[in-house]
A and B are shown apart, each in its own frame.
Chain A
Amino acid sequence: MLYADFFSNIQLGLSTAVSPANLLYCFIGVFVGMLVAVLPGVGKLAAMSMLFPMTFYLGPTSSLIMLAGIYYGTGYGGSTASILLNVPGEPSSAVTCIDGYQMAKQGRAGVALSIAAIASFVAGSIGILVMMLFSPLILSAAQSFSSAEYFAVMLLGLLSATAITDGSFFKSLSMVFLGLLLGTVGLDLFTGLPRFTFGIPDLSDGVSIVALAMGVFGLSEIINSVRAVAEGKVENVTLRSLIPTRDDMRRSVGPILRGSLTGSLLGALPGVGPAIASFMAYALEKRISKDPSRFGKGAVEGVAAPEAANNGADQTGFIPTMTLGIPGNAAMALMLGVLIMHGITPGPSLVTKHPDVFWGLVMSFWLGNLMLLVLNIPLVGIWVRLLQIPYKWLYPAVVMFICIGVYSVNSSSFDVLLVVLFGGMGYLLKFLGFSMAPLLLGFVLGPLMEEHFQRAMIQAHGNLLIFFERPISGTAMFIAIALAAWAAYAAIKRKPMLAEVAA
């Protein structure tokens, strides 16, 4: 019975996704995603928060389709900078540098680019299939969720996103709590008392997620990059050089399929995400290869596998976000922000109450991936040229878009000051080695968690054991506590948790 409405849902999704407006926003999304991944010093989170103000003018479906397009669009574009410049356009393409840049040095940049695009497309398609098949399963399990389960599963999501990090566990954890704290600013839901507003009326609605995201991911990144971004010189890539040889194709089939599966499975877990998936896929290919010594010297498998994995993970990362309302990373937290802004409560009820939003988004992934494939390969000359735009011309424009964009949300000059405040704060914190993604996760999940906690407490008459007595929430709490204990132990011993993966 799980899949009773499967085909009618697909039909509904398709008809939503191919409406002219949604096609346009899908195109804008993937185009901007491709663009920022290629442009130096502008990340996907900065781009998503820069287009966030536009979502106030759009319906929830169009907004999600556009922001999602940016998210997976960067998966395609990120490889371009990795291969041509040896500089990862996005962290998830870092491992592609190893063999991709070697291929470029051997004059095979075109082949590397087209294999990366094909791998991304195949993996994206597999990721979407996984999402379509698994989401109904998760939804049926979530029917029985009460506030206790929600609280426990959100806690698990937060902690795993924090534990699996490249920086210090305690620093990431502290950012979660700072995010939670920022989420409490504004009028209290139950009593209407102002919390942390310091008598400023603009703060009574709380801190705007746009100002926070643009500050910590936009302005603070710019400050860091103004003097750091090097100007690259790259050879032009001709269309003819894009055609892979028969040998390249034969070598790539296995890595693409294995990378897609690795990515799709890992991507659905909160906190794992595309960057780790691409490392895992690379390590796997190296391990099972008959001749591992080819890796690092321009092996096409070393481009195909990680590029497949990061795109598969990009797509399945939407599963926990859309079905349970639990974002696995900061970009997904922004997606939830869009829903909340449009008055839609994230969680299992999203799919039942708004099937057009969910299935429209899923079906737009197909279209977006197709558009990216078409954008990516024939237009490679344009992307190569964009790669060389000097940052000194680019960053004042980004500052402008951030400041006007945040103003446009509420026509509020105060929000511009908030962006500046968060930009400075974000720069300082990053300078001290804190990462900003957990901050946004905590900020978005905080109010939801507080509400579920209070509701669960009222239902259980203040008995904290309720979180451990129910099977699903008990399991989630147990895993969360075990994970936190392990991460804290590793942090005190000062062992990086990801050392084995990267090796």
Chain B
Amino acid sequence: MTRARDYRDIYSGLLLICMGGFATIYAALTLPLGTVMRMGPGGFPAILGGILFLIGVIILVPALRREGEVMESLEIRPAIAVLGAGIVFSLILEQVGLVPSTFVLVIIAASGDNKLTIRAKVVLGVILSVLAFLIFKVGLSLPIVAVRWPF
């Protein structure tokens, strides 16, 4: 009874069911659906959501009765570092300017593994923020301040 099930496909199916169900319900609640001949703006998304839901069921049901491989674990640390770097960057870019926010982005992103020392991260951060300044500000003249003091 304690055999490992095909959890990869179980989660996949559940995810699709949730996304499809949400899309259909949201479309039906917020948009006119129309008819096949004169489809309203909600019609197409509602159908798509329904199909996603259906595929989710097709993937889920057989997976419930099937053995599966053990799933490897998620790459939590790299995910937090890479995604976190992007979030912080988007929040501070217009407040402090291109160069400091690029520096912060590189430091956070480089923390995805522990292969670089702190000094190496700082060096990389300095090199890349200068590079960003040269490419995007000098080269492509992006309309963004290089450094802004928020205080």
Interface residues of A (CB under 8 A from B): 54, 57, 168, 170-171, 173-174, 177-178, 180-181, 184, 188, 190-191, 193, 195-196, 219, 222-224, 226-227, 390, 392-393, 395-397, 399-400, 402-404, 407-408, 411, 413-414, 416-417, 419-420, 423-424, 427, 429, 431-434, 450, 454, 457, 461-462, 464, 492
Contacts and interface: CB of A to CB of B under 8 A. Distances in A.
Contacts of B37: 457, 461-462
Interface residues of B, number: 65
B79 to A, nearest CB: 5
A191 B45 contact: no
A416 B44 CA distance: 28
29 contacts: A57-B140, A171-B12, A174-B16, A177-B55, A178-B52, A181-B23, A193-B31, A196-B26, A196-B27, A219-B82, A222-B78, A224-B75, A226-B113, A227-B112, A396-B105, A396-B109, A396-B110, A400-B132, A402-B86, A403-B90, A407-B93, A408-B142, A416-B93, A417-B86, A427-B79, A432-B11, A434-B12, A457-B37, A462-B38
Interface string B78-100: 11011101110111011000100
A462 B43 CA distance: 14
A180 to B, nearest CB: 5
Contacts of B140: 54, 57, 408
Contact of A177 (B35, B51, B79, B143): B51
B56 interface: yes
A95 B75 CA distance: 28
Contact of B115 (A191, A392, A408, A464): A392
A191 B128 CA distance: 46
Given A399-B109, A433-B8, A423 B82 contact: yes
B75 A404 contact: no
A404 B128 contact: no
9 smallest A-B Cβ distances: which pairs?
Answer: A462-B37, A416-B90, A188-B41, A226-B78, A420-B86, A399-B109, A392-B115, A396-B109, A174-B55
Tell which of B35, B62, B86, B142 has the most Cβ of chain A within 10 Å: B86
Contacts of B35: 462
B107 to A, nearest CB: 8
Contacts of A173: 55
Contacts of B45: 181, 184, 195-196
Interface of B: 8-9, 11-12, 15-16, 19, 23, 26-27, 31-32, 35-42, 44-45, 48-49, 51-52, 55-56, 58-59, 62, 74-75, 78-79, 81-83, 85-87, 89-91, 93-94, 98, 102, 105-106, 109-110, 112-113, 115-116, 124, 128, 131-132, 136, 140, 142-144
B63 to A, nearest CB: 11
B94 A400 contact: no
Nearest to B121: A396
Given A408-B140, A411-B143, A464-B36, A226 B55 contact: no
B87 A420 contact: yes
Nearest to A418: B90
A441 to B, nearest CB: 14
A222 B79 CA distance: 9
Contacts of B109: 395-396, 399-400
A457 B86 CA distance: 44
Contact of A195 (B41, B93, B105): B41
Given A57-B140, A193-B41, A223 B75 contact: yes
A429 B78 CA distance: 16
A393 B86 contact: no
A390 B109 CA distance: 15
Given A226-B78, A226-B82, A431-B74, 16 more contacts: A170-B59, A171-B59, A174-B59, A181-B48, A191-B41, A195-B31, A196-B45, A224-B78, A396-B85, A399-B106, A400-B102, A404-B98, A407-B144, A413-B91, A416-B90, A450-B44
A226 B75 contact: yes
A396 B106 contact: yes
B86 A423 contact: yes
A400 B106 contact: yes
B112 A433 contact: no
A393 B82 contact: no
A170 B143 CA distance: 44
Contact of A392 (B32, B40, B110): B110
Contacts of A54: 140
A168 B31 CA distance: 33
A173 B9 CA distance: 14
A177 B48 contact: yes
A457 B38 CA distance: 8
Contacts of B39: 454, 457
Contact of B128 (A400, A408, A413): A400
B75 A416 contact: no
A413 B82 contact: no
Contacts of B89: 403, 416
Contact of B83 (A408, A423, A429, A457): A423
A419 B87 CA distance: 9
A467 to B, nearest CB: 13
Contacts of B11: 432
